[in-house]
Amino acid sequence: MFAHIGDRLIVEGDLARAGLIIGVPHEDGSPPYIVKWLANGHIAMVSPGQYARIVHADQHAAAANDGYQPTATN
């Protein structure tokens, strides 16, 4: 799992448990990530588990333009 600032982290396919990645301490983009949870604005360092996924910023932007909502199976 690799991420960049601006990507989103979705836990267990639940969009209510989505966060914006605001920091990536490792140059290679590996976890942990600094995440701002969208539901409440809480900021935390997160090491995602096996049921989390990264939605890259470009995928999220494209999805927003066509009304698509990413899920854990997409």
Flag whether pLDDT at 51 surpasses 80.
yes
The confidence score (pLDDT) of residue 74 equals 44
Cβ-proximal residues to 47 (8 Å cutoff; 6+ apart), any chain:
31, 32, 33
Beta strands of the chain (E only): which ranges?
Answer: 8-11, 18-23, 33-37, 43-46, 52-55
Count the neighbouring beta carbons within 10 Å of the beta carbon of residue 9: 23
Which residues partner with 19 through β-bridges? 9, 37
Q: Is the pLDDT of residue 70 over 90?
A: no
- In this prediction, residue 73 carries a pLDDT of 46
pLDDT of residue 62: 57
Please tell me whether the overall predicted TM-score, pTM, comes out greater than 0.85 for this model. Answer: no
Percentages helix, strand, coil for the chain (3-state, rounded to 5) are 20, 30, 50
Interval 12-50: pLDDT, tens:
878 889 999 999 999 999 999 999 999 999 999 999 999
